[in-house]
């Protein structure tokens, strides 16, 4: 342990210097002309709670037209009312009457994806910001998704059936976190090319750094970041910007709906697997409002990537220099030492 601490201390200066250099590059990016918001059309996927709700409120205060998408009807209706109030109180909104529309449904379904695009173009005529925020998490170690993994003969029918729980969780995680954002991004791409608009991907630090109990989640977020980072290179020459936001832990209800956790018969939220491993300091958990402000600021400034809080940005640099140390810290955090 002492060796790790000494290594971290020796590397800290290099990390800070690299961070300073990177921030200089980011700041030069921020000096680009701000994207206007007043009267522009913003589609927000996953807008019923958490970061998505706060992003909707932030755009509403700036006088944007909103198309809000989520599965939960009551929660999304509540967000619409909050956005209407926010728009009415916004300082810039006396010149335009912002419009707000809702689409209910599971964004992994192709019919819902097509409805989102058609509603947007039919009622607003164009799109300026596509915010891809819907997500689902997994919280179990892979071995816990397998039944008696050490007691089955390799290659047997029983062994093959043993991965059904894992496959179900993997398919759902990839469907929500990767396939749906990719499909929506591609469906909206012709319209974004026409408007020289922006795609805003609310990803996760799990898309940058791996962690125990996050195998499926990290895989989906790494794939998500890889796709949109590559797409950015293809479309930036056409005036389309792509912003990827990678927040750390945010105070939302994401964990309570983990794909690999079943609700109890009483309807109570179950105890999260791995919860005993993780003791997060309150100050290390971000508020949805703070996260939304960081995402909004990056979006209107066409920043390519924003990682926050800053300690996680440092972790990315440290991972490039000494990945074994970052892995040690991740295993320690989640109780896998």
Could you list the active site residues?
Answer: 217
Helices 288-300, 50-61: inter-axial angle, 10-degree rounding: 50
CB-based contact 251:208 (threshold 8 Å): no
Tell me the C-alpha distance between 5 and 15, whole Å: 14
Residue listed under structure tokens 């396939």: 179
87, 92, 96, 97 alpha-carbon torsion, rounded to 10°: 10
Q: What are the backbone dihedrals phi and psi of residue 181, each rounded to the nearest 5 degrees, phi first?
A: -60, -40
Residue listed under structure tokens 């795609």: 199
Residues for the chain: how many in total? 337
Tell me the C-alpha distance between 250 and 286, whole Å: 4
Q: Which residues of 197-222 are buried (b: 16+ CB within 10 A; e: fewer)?
A: bbbbbbbbbbbbbbbbbbbbbbbbbb
Kindly provide the residue ranges of all beta strands, DSSP E only, lying in 153-233, ordered along the sequence: 198-202
Tell me the C-alpha distance between 22 and 17, whole Å: 9
Helices 180-195, 110-124: inter-axial angle, 10-degree rounding: 20
Which residues pair with residue 307 across a beta bridge?
246
CB-based contact 47:133 (threshold 8 Å): yes
């Amino acid at each position: 342990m002492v060796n790790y601490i000494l290594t971290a201390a020796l590397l800290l200066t290099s990390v800070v210097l690299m961070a300073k250099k990177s921030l200089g590059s980011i700041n030069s990016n921020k000096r680009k002309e701000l994207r206007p918001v007043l009267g522009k059309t913003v589609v927000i996927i996953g807008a019923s709670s958490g970061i998505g709700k706060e992003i909707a409120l932030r755009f509403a205060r700036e006088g944007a037209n909103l198309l809000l998408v989520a599965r939960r009807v009551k929660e999304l209706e509540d967000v619409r009312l909050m956005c209407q109030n926010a728009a009415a109180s916004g300082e810039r909104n006396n010149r335009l009457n912002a419009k707000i529309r809702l689409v209910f449904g599971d964004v992994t379904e192709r019919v819902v994806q097509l409805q989102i695009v058609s509603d947007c173009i039919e009622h607003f005529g164009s799109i300026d910001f596509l915010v891809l925020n819907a997500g689902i998490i997994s919280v179990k170690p892979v071995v816990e998704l397998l039944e008696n993994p050490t007691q089955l003969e390799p290659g047997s029918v029983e062994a093959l059936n043993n991965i059904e729980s894992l496959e179900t969780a993997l398919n759902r995680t990839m469907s929500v976190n990767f396939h749906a954002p990719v499909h929506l991004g591609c469906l909206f791409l012709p319209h974004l090319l026409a408007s020289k608009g922006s795609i805003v991907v609310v990803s996760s630090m799990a898309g940058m750094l791996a962690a125990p109990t996050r195998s499926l989640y990290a895989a989906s977020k790494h794939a998500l970041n890889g796709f949109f980072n590559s797409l950015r290179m293809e479309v930036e020459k056409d005036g389309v910007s792509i912003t990827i936001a990678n927040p750390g832990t945010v105070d939302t209800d994401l964990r309570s709906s983990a794909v690999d956790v079943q609700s109890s018969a009483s309807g109570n939220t179950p105890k999260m697997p791995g919860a005993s491993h993780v003791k997060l300091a309150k100050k290390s958990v971000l508020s949805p409002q703070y996260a939304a402000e960081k995402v909004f600021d990056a979006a209107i400034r066409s920043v390519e990537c924003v990682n926050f809080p800053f300690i996680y940005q440092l972790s990315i640099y440290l991972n490039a220099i000494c990945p074994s140390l970052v892995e040690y810290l991740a295993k320690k955090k989640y109780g896998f030492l």
